[in-house]
Amino acid sequence: MMMHYTIFVKIAKYMKMNKITKLLLVIALELPFVAFAQEKTHYGVYLGGNINWMNIDKSLYYDDSEPFTQMHSIAGDTTYSVSYLTVNGAEVRPNGNFVIGGLFEYQIDDLLSLQFELLFNQQGYKLKGTVDQPNISDSGSTTYDYTANTKMSSISTAVMVKINALKNMLSVDLGVQPSFCFKMIKESERGISHKSIIYDSNNEFNPLNISLLGGLTGYLGDNFFVTARYCFGLTDLIKGKKPFLLAEEDATTPIVKYNYSEAKSTTNSIMLSIGYRFK
C-alpha cells in the first residue's frame, strides 16, 4: 500500500496539481487497494469445549494430597520414611473443559488462508482407584476410594494453514499450537478427606506445551462457523515426584523432599466450537 501511495504522489507532483486535488487523487486511486486488502482479512471470536485425556506414566499413579510418614524402630534406632501412597487399580479418564478465543485470518487466494488465534483453554485428567493406608496401631491397613481431577489452565496461540474447499463452505485446518500453562490445580478425595493442591510451575509441571493440530471448519453463511479440531501434544507436561527416604540424622524432622523423575505425561484433546467471523 505504501508503494502505491508513493507512486500516486509522484504522479500528482508531475501533473502539478494543488494540495487538495493531489489528496483527492491519492484517495480515489488508493480506495480499490484498501477495499481489496480488507476483503482478504477476517476477524472472529469463538466459544466451545474440549475433551482431553493424558497419557500418564504409571509412576504418576499416587496420592499426593498428604505425605504418609511412618516411624521405624530397628535395634533401638528410630528412623522415618516419608512417601506418597500408591493408587491401586488406577483408571485415567478424559476431562472436559471450556475454550474461548479470537482469530485473525488472511486469505492468500481462493484456496489458501493463514489463520492466527489467541485462546484460553484447559487440559487435564481424572484419576480413579483405591488407596491402602497403613494403620499406625498395627501392621494392617485401611482401603479408601480415591479420585483426583487435575486441570491445567493455559493461554495458547495457534498458527494454521486453511485449505478452502466446497466454494468456501468448508476448510481443512492444519497447524501448530504453542501453549503457556500458568496454573495447575488438583482436586483429590480420599474417603471423606478432600484436598486441593496448586502445583509450582517449572518444578512440578512444564509451563510450555507444543501441540500439532488438524481439523475442519464449516461456514454457515457469511459469518457463523463451526470447528472440530484434534490437538496432539508433543511436550511432557507433568514432572513425576518420587518418595524421599529421610536420612537417619534427619529423623527428628520428618519433611518431604522431591526427586523429579522422567515420567511421561503427554496430552491429546478434541475441541468443538462455534464462532462468528466479521467480514
Say what the pLDDT of residue 197 is.
Answer: 86
Distance CA 65, CA 138 (A): 23
Say what the pLDDT of residue 26 is.
Answer: 47
pLDDT tens for each residue of 30-51: 544 444 445 588 999 999 999 9
Q: Check whether 146 has a pLDDT greater than 80.
A: yes
Q: Check whether 187 has a pLDDT greater than 70.
A: yes
The C-alpha cell that represents 258 in the structure block:
522431591
Q: What mean pLDDT is predicted for residues 228-256? A: 73
Say what the pLDDT of residue 192 is.
Answer: 79
Give the range among 34-43, 65-74, 91-100, 184-193 with minimum mean pLDDT.
34-43
Q: Check whether 228 has a pLDDT greater than 80.
A: yes
Q: How confident is the model at residue 57 (pLDDT cuts 50, 70, 90)?
A: confident
Q: Which fold has domain 41-278?
A: Porin (2.40.160)
Give the range among 22-26, 42-46, 145-149, 237-241 with minimum mean pLDDT.
22-26
CA angle 235, 60, 249 (to 5 degrees): 115
pLDDT tens for each residue of 189-212: 988 788 888 888 877 888 999 999
Q: What mean pLDDT is predicted for residues 52-75? A: 80
Rounded percentage of the chain residues whose pLDDT exceeds 70: 75
Residues of the chain with CATH 2.40.160.20: 41-278
Say what the pLDDT of residue 14 is.
Answer: 44
Q: How confident is the model at residue 157 (pLDDT cuts 50, 70, 90)?
A: very high
Q: Check whether 225 has a pLDDT greater than 70.
A: yes
CB 157 within 8 A of CB 177: yes
Phi first, then psi, for residue 4 (nearest 5°) are -60, -45
The C-alpha cell that represents 140 in the structure block:
494392617
* 263 secondary structure, DSSP code: -
Closest CA to 156 of 100, 107, 198, 237: 100
The C-alpha cell that represents 149 in the structure block:
481431577
Q: Check whether 72 has a pLDDT greater than 90.
A: no
Q: What mean pLDDT is predicted for residues 107-129? A: 92
Q: What mean pLDDT is predicted for residues 47-67? A: 87
Q: What mean pLDDT is predicted for residues 251-267? A: 69
Q: Check whether 150 has a pLDDT greater than 70.
A: yes
Give the range among 68-72, 115-119, 142-146, 266-270 with minimum mean pLDDT.
68-72
Please give the residue that has the higher pLDDT: either 200 or 162: 162
